[in-house]
Structure 1
């Protein structure tokens, strides 16, 4: 229906143009004199250009878009270069070019830099470059390029949307942290100069395959005999591997939560350890244990797409999620809300022999309440490590966690 009305509008404006041309000519013919013919000849160039534009098709245009690179982190600058090409050198007096962005990316553009007023003239190739500073974290789309032109009187208008869909994934910003492990795992993590030592686990038996199990754990002989996947069951030994659990409930500090999770995950991986990761929003992200570049890629991909839209309260995630229940390792919990229910869930994890360290994210200048101090004191009596971490002060928070 919209296309039909656009065509009706187009022919209506074209008829107005022809009517005006006929009127000015008729007036000059019947009235005569300098003024009437001057009026006609003055209007003639505008009307002739409008008529020519009416029969010129913007289908002649093609578009290319190039980005400076494919991998970005939050708060970096994206440079976009848009190139329009055409075969016919029809004179275009002006053109409005707009790079159509998704709402998440469009909100980050300052002063409509993705929209520009150009004077193409006879040029067959038109290039425009713009920047988006302070990229927001997440998955964003550059959807199409819209071009618009008209005659000087605005009677004949031409518009074309050139579809050119591209996606960019903006990973979270992170700080480079130095993370060391000590030998005392009863209280979570320690900062020390001790050398990392991995202890080999002894195979104690076999069990059915569970989501999150490593590929190397599969017992192929037993799987063939049972006609189903089974994995090796290990005796539990101290390990330098961690599971990071991130709170995805609605909170204005969520971006800081994501950034700190990325920072501590990166620091652990740089020490040669493996990490698992769990974030439960409307979409659940559970990453089995990985290390090195693969572990970092999976972690940052999940964090780039994470949203604070969890339908489940965080303490319930800690106490009921199957991914957490099937592992007996050190847990790193990142949240912005310290509550009695959260501590109760963490105590259940510790009762299974899993050391727990909880990082409570605070905004710059935010005061720790007396209620939070009381909860922290009670939790520490049970051997739990709780640390308040402030935005832009991640290293200080990690050092405090190390002191326990």
Structure 2
């Protein structure tokens, strides 16, 4: 291959020299102003072609700038490419083509290739737009530059390294969350909810009962009535939630990731503590915690997660491999359902709190009779199951009712 390229280059040099010899011979034998004018007119173009042939494209420096680094799936991104050169030379044209991730292919509607006319300018920039960014970690490796002479005799190109990484987080939709200590329409039993008293503010008084704390006694009432009275406090229900993402390969995996990111965000925003388990080639477990730090770690994981689970969810549940707190509610997000999976989840119910199973369908995929039968089967086993399409994500918890 290299020998072929070398032969092609040598042939172009010979062709250029033949043009020079031909024009010079014509001027010598023909004589006259016109003949010599043609020769001297062709001479600068020939010299330009030779200089272009030896011009060092690899000495170009390249910079890539993103308009924003906080991006979510579906966003639009503007990328600015800038080339700088230390050796000024009037290049007629330069073709610039950014080399990006395979996930950022042209069908997504971005123009990564353009032609600029730098002339004598030492730096040239161009901006292109990527529409509808896909979720994931995208790598930009280099910039391909190409130039040539006026006649197209000499063309040369170089691949200039310029590595950048762009992390696109999953899209988040508004999913109003209602806690799982409530009951669902389809046989959900109430979870083990932790009851806490807010002792910062009393809501009333009642008669003293054995076991009441000394600090709860309402001394003003005792002084007034000579009877022991105890402050009443507002009871708050606090609960923990573990979200389990099924990473089996599926056409609905991207909607599953979007839904998982959305409910994690919604649960955390409600003040509850939430954790995440996603099991694939590498098992990722984020313990149940509250705060922005753990939430950021989970969203970062969801930005890069792939459907690469080596085993089915029902096998993963065996042996209590989730290391889940017994009082925590568990939300499963999956795109496939079977009796074996429901039975495995049902077995896990005995060791945990409330269980809710979301079956995510891709757009256009119908709900089969088997899906309906399995929904009823899950209900009979104490597992609440909901079938969702992406436009229905915002109503995912709409069926929650007060116990």
Please report the TM-score for the alignment, with normalisation by the length of structure 2.
0.81
Please report the TM-score for the alignment, with normalisation by the length of structure 1.
0.81
Residues 147-166 of structure 1 mapped to structure 2, 5 A cutoff: 147-166=145-164
1:297 corresponds to: 296
> How many matched pairs?
360
In structure 2, C-alpha distance between the alignment counterparts of 1:285 and 1:266, rounded to whole Å: 18
In structure 2, C-alpha distance between the alignment counterparts of 1:154 and 1:127, rounded to whole Å: 24
Is the contact between residue 387 and residue 401 of structure 1 (CA under 8 Å) also seen in structure 2? Answer: no
Report the CA distance shift for 1:150/1:167 in structure 2 as closer, same or farther (over 3 A): same
Is the contact between residue 81 and residue 130 of structure 1 (CA under 8 Å) also seen in structure 2? Answer: yes
Report the CA distance shift for 1:372/1:83 in structure 2 as closer, same or farther (over 3 A): same
Residues 318-345 of structure 1 show CA distances to partners (whole Å, capped at 9, x for unaligned) of: 33562x1454222110011121111011
Runs of 4 or more, structure 1, over 6 Å off, are none
Residues 225-374 of structure 1 mapped to structure 2, 5 A cutoff: 240-320=239-319, 322=321, 324-325=322-323, 327-328=325-326, 329-374=328-373
Report the CA distance shift for 1:16/1:292 in structure 2 as closer, same or farther (over 3 A): same
**Per-residue deviation at 1:35?**
6.9
Q: Which shifted more, 181-190 or 140-149? A: 181-190
In structure 2, C-alpha distance between the alignment counterparts of 1:343 and 1:116, rounded to whole Å: 54
- Report the structure number with the largest CA radius of gyration: 2
Q: Does 1:174 align with 2:163?
A: no
1:387 corresponds to: 386
Q: Which shifted more, 147-156 or 135-144? A: 147-156
Is the contact between residue 320 and residue 348 of structure 2 (CA under 8 Å) also seen in structure 1? Answer: no
Is the contact between residue 175 and residue 395 of structure 2 (CA under 8 Å) also seen in structure 1? Answer: no
In structure 1, C-alpha distance between the alignment counterparts of 2:16 and 2:52, rounded to whole Å: 12
Is the contact between residue 182 and residue 402 of structure 2 (CA under 8 Å) also seen in structure 1? Answer: no
In structure 2, C-alpha distance between the alignment counterparts of 1:198 and 1:152, rounded to whole Å: 81
Report the CA distance shift for 1:172/1:199 in structure 2 as closer, same or farther (over 3 A): farther
**Per-residue deviation at 1:285?**
1.9
Residues 131-155 of structure 1 show CA distances to partners (whole Å, capped at 9, x for unaligned) of: 1010000000111112110002222
Is the contact between residue 180 and residue 329 of structure 2 (CA under 8 Å) also seen in structure 1? Answer: no
Report the CA distance shift for 1:364/1:159 in structure 2 as closer, same or farther (over 3 A): closer
2:137 corresponds to: 139
Is the contact between residue 98 and residue 115 of structure 1 (CA under 8 Å) also seen in structure 2? Answer: yes
**Per-residue deviation at 1:276?**
1.8
**Per-residue deviation at 1:16?**
2.8
Report the CA distance shift for 1:386/1:163 in structure 2 as closer, same or farther (over 3 A): same
Higher RCO (CA < 8 A, seq sep 6+): 2
RMSD over aligned Cα, in angstroms? 2.8
Q: Does 1:187 align with 2:185?
A: no
Unaligned runs of 5+ in 2: 199-236
**Per-residue deviation at 1:11?**
4.2
Residues 200-215 of structure 1 mapped to structure 2, 5 A cutoff: none
Report the CA distance shift for 1:390/1:98 in structure 2 as closer, same or farther (over 3 A): same
In structure 1, C-alpha distance between the alignment counterparts of 2:25 and 2:190, rounded to whole Å: 92
Is the contact between residue 63 and residue 85 of structure 1 (CA under 8 Å) also seen in structure 2? Answer: yes
**Per-residue deviation at 1:158?**
2.5
In structure 1, C-alpha distance between the alignment counterparts of 2:125 and 2:117, rounded to whole Å: 11
Q: Does 1:375 align with 2:377?
A: no
In structure 2, C-alpha distance between the alignment counterparts of 1:350 and 1:199, rounded to whole Å: 27
